[in-house]
């Protein structure tokens, strides 16, 4: 109680002193890089993307004002756009859920008393440091219908060959699997989080007679919830921007099943030379990600639990 009053008095007195101004000045100075970046790399270009999306522009002739027609065309006439939203969302959901389950499971296994834990951790982390284009190329070889490793194993087990990348219903799960394989960085973060679940809680729960499953649900998960939130966020942002497999492997096919939004935008901008239209796609994509993020943050208040109290400074 007294602390609060003291703090309040202290803050008020600070505000009007020279110190405050000095502090502000230092802050603005240090933040110059951020200011430049936010202005010229982020927000001004974002505004111009929206602005451009209102024009018809093929980069070779001056832009022609088109109002919202680009957006209307996108949602009504375009043969790819609606499928592309579906593909992107479908892929992101599977990839994010898959990555989280996989990394959490592996982290929990690694958390036990096993020898050479550092070595195993390194093994699972390695895919993350490999260049994406190379990874997809390598996996495409594994997925090959007639001579790939997976189909060979399946055929030995007597199962029908699976058309991994050639069948429109299998492409997205196959690509999502690669994304899950690549999510080694999440394992490390989860592991650290697991090791920070206070032993006090775990022991208390044990004494109370909670079995492993209960301990997991009621102690581990809540304590890890901020980290889970962070990982979901990282995974979501990464996976929604997926473009490399479409660029190097599938070209959006078969059908439109891998026509991810980023790839579609790239095609319209750089292959069909319709820059205004492509900017419209970018902007819709931006709005989509924003919606997902807001929903995530809004709902997170109900299920995340901060050990050290709310850090609202």
Partner 1 sequence: MERTRKILVILLCALMILGVAGCGATGTQGGAPSQSTASSQEATPASTQEATPAQSSGEKVNITYACWGTIEENKAVQDALDKFNASQDKTKVELKLIPWEGYVASLNTMAAANNLPDTANMQEPMVMDWVKQGMLADISDMYAGSDSKPLDCITYKADGKPVAYGVAAETVVMYYNKSMFDKAGVAYPPSTLDKAWTWDEFVANAKKLTLDKNGKHPDEAGFDAQNITQYGCLVENLAWQLEWPILSNGGGFYSADGSKVTIGDPAATEAIQKVADLYLKDHVAPLSIGSTDDGVQRGLIAGTVAMTTNGTWNVGTCLNTAKEQGLNYGIAVLPKMKQSATLATAGTNVVFNQSKHQKEAIEWIKWYANIDNGWPLISAGIWPPIFENYYTDETLTHKWLDNPNFPPYADYKAAAVDPMLDKNYVHSASWFYVNHAADFNNLLTSILGDVWSGKATAQDVITKNLDKFNAIFNGTAN
Partner 2 sequence: MNNIRSKTRNKQIVDILSLTAIVILAFVALLPIWWIFRSSLMSNAEIYKFPPPFFPQNWRFSNYGKALEYFKFWQYLKNTTIIIVPSVIAGTLTATLCGYSFARLRFRGKKFIFSLCVGSMFLPSMVTLIPLYTMWTRGLGLGNTYWPLVLPYFCGGGAFSIFLLRQFIMSVPRELDEAAKIDGAGYMRILVQIIVPAIRPAMIVVALILFIGLWNDLLQQMVYINKPEKYTIAVGLTIFRGAYKSDWSNLMAATCMTFAPGVILYLIGQKYFIEGIVMTGMKN
Q: Which of residues 263-302 bind partner 2 (CB under 8 A)?
A: 265-266, 269, 275, 278-279, 282-283, 285-286, 289-290, 293
* Spatial distance between the Cα atoms of 126 and 192, rounded to a whole number of angstroms: 17
Q: How far is the CB of 172 from partner 2 (least distance, A)?
A: 19
Q: How far is the CB of 257 from partner 2 (least distance, A)?
A: 20
* 189 within 8 A of 230, measured Cβ to Cβ: yes
Nearer to partner 1, 74 or 227 (CB): 74
Q: What one-character-per-residue DSSP string does 186-252 give? A: HHHHHHHHHHTS-HHHHHHHHHTT--HHHHIIIIIHHHHHHHHHHHHHHHHHHHHT--HHIIIIITT
Burial tier of 263 (Cβ tally within 10 Å: 0-12, 13-18, 19+): buried
CA dihedral 250, 258, 68, 295 (to 10 degrees): -140
Q: How far is the CB of 281 from partner 2 (least distance, A)?
A: 9
**Which span (14-22, 89-97, 111-119, 163-171) binds partner 1, by CB under 8 A?**
163-171
Compose the 116-145 pattern: x for residues touching partner 1 by CB under 8 A, - for all others. -----------------------------x
CB neighbours (10 Å) of residue 131? Answer: 9
Backbone φ and ψ of 196, nearest 5°: -105, 0
Beta bridge partners of 64: 56
Q: How far is the CB of 269 from partner 1 (least distance, A)?
A: 8
293 binds, among partner 2, partner 1, none (CB under 5 to 8 A by kind): partner 2
* 276 within 8 A of 53, measured Cβ to Cβ: yes
**176: nearest Cα among 274, 275, 87:** 87
Residue from 129, 200, 207, 298 in contact with partner 2 (CB under 8 A): 129
Residue from 97, 237, 300, 304 in contact with partner 2 (CB under 8 A): 237
252 binds, among partner 1, partner 2, none (CB under 5 to 8 A by kind): partner 1
Residue from 147, 200, 298, 309 in contact with partner 1 (CB under 8 A): 147
- In the complex, the residues that contact partner 1 under the rule CB under 8 A are 58-61, 70, 73-74, 77-80, 145-147, 155, 160-161, 163, 166-168, 247-248, 250-257, 259, 266-267, 269-275, 277
């Amino acid at each position: 109680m007294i602390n609060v009053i003291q703090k309040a008095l202290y803050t008020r007195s600070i505000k009007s002193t020279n110190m405050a101004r000095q502090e502000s000045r230092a802050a603005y100075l240090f933040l110059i890089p951020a200011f430049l970046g936010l202005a010229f790399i982020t927000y001004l270009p974002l505004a111009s993307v929206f602005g451009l999306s209102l024009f018809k522009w093929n980069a070779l002739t001056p832009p022609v004002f088109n109002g919202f027609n680009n957006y209307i065309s996108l949602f009504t006439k375009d043969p790819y756009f609606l499928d592309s939203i579906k593909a992107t969302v479908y892929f992101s959901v599977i990839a994010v859920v898959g990555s989280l389950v996989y990394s959490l499971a592996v982290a929990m296994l690694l958390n036990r008393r096993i020898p050479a834990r550092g070595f195993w951790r390194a093994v699972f982390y390695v895919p993350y440091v490999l260049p994406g284009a190379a990874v997809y190329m390598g996996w495409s070889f594994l997925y090959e219908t007639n001579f790939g490793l997976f189909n060979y194993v399946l055929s030995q087990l007597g199962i029908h060959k699976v058309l991994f990348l050639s069948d429109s219903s299998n492409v997205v799960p196959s690509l999502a699997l690669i994304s899950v394989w690549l999510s080694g960085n999440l394992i490390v973060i989860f592991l650290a989080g697991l090791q920070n679940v206070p032993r006090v809680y775990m022991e208390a729960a044990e004494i109370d007679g909670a079995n492993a499953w209960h301990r997991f649900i009621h102690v581990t998960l809540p304590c890890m919830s901020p980290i889970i939130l962070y990982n979901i966020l990282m995974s979501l942002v990464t996976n929604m921007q997926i473009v490399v497999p479409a660029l190097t492997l599938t070209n959006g096919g078969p059908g439109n099943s891998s026509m991810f939004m980023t790839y579609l935008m790239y095609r319209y901008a750089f292959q069909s030379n319709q820059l205004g239209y492509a900017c419209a796609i970018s902007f819709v994509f931006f709005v989509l990600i924003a919606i997902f993020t807001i929903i995530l943050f809004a709902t997170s208040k109900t299920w995340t639990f901060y050990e050290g109290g709310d850090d609202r400074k």
